[in-house]
């Protein structure tokens, strides 16, 4: 019989807390499609999240950061929460780039067409997620996390590791994951630093 270690217990406890948060919030808009996802990083690092966007974009080749209506990520290390970021925290100083491939139900990863497809409150140097902040990036050297304004080297995995997402109509988002459309629309997306952040 396999004995479950304390690390496994804490990991499942952390996942259960995050799942409870997603289950107890608000649903996506009726016209939106929702996805949940789990990213497995190095050395016990994990990120869980969810997003939604207009279902009309399901036939588009790519969905981008500006297309999202809800988005939230929460990270753990060996089951212990290490940070979170939600779309309602976005401002014009945030590094924010996202590329999702709806036909593949997956996020774009590093490759010839996608040099830095994901920059979720984290630039290519991994140092701008802010004090007590949390972010994620896929660049040319790795997929990795930023915690408290610092690159977490131990979280790194290969830059081309697949990153799937699962259609999930049961997702309930925390309130800060779904800011009012007029607030997001007021931001100048050309000024967001995701477009110009350097990949590693």
pLDDT digits (tens, 9 = 90+) for 88-118: 999 989 999 999 999 999 999 999 999 999 9
Give domain status of residue 44, yes or no: yes
Give domain status of residue 14, yes or no: yes
Give domain status of residue 199, yes or no: no
Between CA 36 and CA 186 the distance in angstroms is 27
Give domain status of residue 98, yes or no: yes
Between CA 32 and CA 135 the distance in angstroms is 24
Return the CA Rg of the chain. 16
Give domain status of residue 198, yes or no: no
pLDDT digits (tens, 9 = 90+) for 42-59: 999 999 999 999 999 999
**43: containing domain:** 6-193
Looking at residue 181, what is its pLDDT? 77
Looking at residue 195, what is its pLDDT? 40
Give domain status of residue 200, yes or no: no
Give the mean pLDDT of the chain.
85
Give domain status of residue 87, yes or no: yes
Sign of the CA dihedral with 162 first, then 171, 29, and 173 last: negative
Give domain status of residue 106, yes or no: yes
- Domains held by the chain: number: 1
pTM across the whole model: 0.82
């Amino acid at each position: 019989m396999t004995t479950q270690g304390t690390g496994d217990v804490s990991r499942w406890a952390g996942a259960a807390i995050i799942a409870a948060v997603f289950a107890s919030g608000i649903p996506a808009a009726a016209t939106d499609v929702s996805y949940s996802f789990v990213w497995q990083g190095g050395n016990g690092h994990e990120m869980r999240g969810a997003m939604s966007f207009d279902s009309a974009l399901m036939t588009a080749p790519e969905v981008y950061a500006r297309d999202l209506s809800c988005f939230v990520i929460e990270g753990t290390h060996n089951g212990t929460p290490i940070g979170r970021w939600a779309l309602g925290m976005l401002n014009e100083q945030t590094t924010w780039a996202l590329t999702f491939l709806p036909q593949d139900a997956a996020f774009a990863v590093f490759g010839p067409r996608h040099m830095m497809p994901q920059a979720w409150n984290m630039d290519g140097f991994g140092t701008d997620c802010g004090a007590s902040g949390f972010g994620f990036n896929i660049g040319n050297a790795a997929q990795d996390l930023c915690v408290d304004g610092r690159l977490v080297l131990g979280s790194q995995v290969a830059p081309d590791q697949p990153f799937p997402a699962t259609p999930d109509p049961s997702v309930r988002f925390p309130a800060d994951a779904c800011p009012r459309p007029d607030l997001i629309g007021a931001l100048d997306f050309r000024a967001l630093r995701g477009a110009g952040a350097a990949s590693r």
